Amino acid sequence: MWKRALAVALLLAASVVRPAQATPPLPDPLATPTTPPPSYPGPGRVTGDVGVHDPSVVKRPDGTYLLVHTGNNIAIKTSADRTAWRNAGVAFPNGAPWTTSYTGGSANLWAPDISYRNGRYYLYYSASTFGSRNSAIFLATSPTGASGTWTNQGLIISTTSSSTYNAIDPNLVVDAQGRWWLTFGSFWTGIKLIQLDPATGKRLGTSITGLAQRTGGTTAVEAPFIFRHGSYYYLWVSFDACCQGASSTYRIMVGRSAGITGPYVDRNGVAMTSGGGTQVLAGHGSVHGPGHQAMIPDIDAEVLFYHYYADNGASLLGINLLGYDSAGWPFVY
């Protein structure tokens, strides 16, 4: 909820889908460390156009990388090596008029989630305004992921001011049985999960499952991302305040479950629906408010992408690798 209006200022400076297939187990990368470092490492080296907010990344079949992030009409960046990044336009160069009833007429679209499935790219993204639950998640697809090739596939889910949750921050996850799910949510009653039809990428049925919720003095949980490692599904979320430049207190938390629908618990066994979460990365040194995380498996390791704020308040791309300790809990290195 807090990520949007300030994010803009900081950054400005229908074809048939093939049926889903069961997803095979992901191999663990070789030589992944099992002992966490004594303190949080700095972000890995990145160069070029690295001003991002709410990044999501997919590795293309040719081995290059495609990144999308919050911005007018969804900003796109590419990289050949995961280090040097360049701007590659926007998803909707002619605008996205189907979203403006949720954005108050703004072109700013939030928190895109990109993946490559069944030979095409899927882009789920949010349309809303700061602090509002008049929100919606939409889907677009593309054969290449390039600017101007995205086709609007329509609305997935929406909320209103009377809803108890907020339809922003989507993330598509395909479980071990090949079933499609969308997790999303921000503040209020927290993180939700709905099932999708893999033939269309749209909602399947009407059920909705709560996965995580903050209790007590704050409801600040958002930016869910579910990533499967070994026999567990890991639910990654961001706690606390985004979009306050170097004063941001965003931090990356995780819980895990043997089943996609939960229950997700943290290292101490506390349910994420009761405010649980194990911290994986928080502000340190000149890295302020790291959050809105996404992961991909790569040839060298599982890779964590996120944004953070520099001392001058700029929102930048952070990349670290993921290891797992002897109990199976992730850490950054």
Please give the Cα distance from 54 to 287 (Å, whole number): 16
Measure Cα distances from 90 to 94, 129, 136, 327 in Å: 9, 20, 20, 42
Collapsed DSSP state (helix, strand, coil) of residue 318: strand
- The reply to whether 300 belongs to the active site is no
Q: Give me 262's structure tokens.
A: 């939960």
Using CA atoms, how far residue 262 sits from 182, 191, 217, 265, 311, in Å, is: 14, 12, 24, 8, 38
**CA distance readout (Å), 225 to 42, 94, 173:** 22, 29, 8
Is 298 among the residues known to form the active site? no
Listed in sequence order, the residues at least 6 apart from 111 whose beta carbon sits closer than 8 Å to its beta carbon are: 3, 54, 56, 70, 125, 126, 168, 169, 170, 223, 292
In angstroms, the CA 296 to CA 280 distance is 16
Return left, alpha or beta for 31; rule: phi > 0 is left, psi -120 to 50 is alpha, else beta: left
CA 228 to chain centre: 14
**Beta strand 202-203 pairing with 315-324:** unpaired
Q: Most distant CA pair in the chain: distance in Å? A: 51
Single-letter amino acid, residue 95: G
* Per-residue tokens: 182: 């969308």
HSE (side-chain half, CA atoms, 13 Å) at 240: 17
From the candidates 113, 169, 222, 266, give the one annotated as an active-site residue. 222
Question: Could you list the active site residues?
Answer: 54, 222
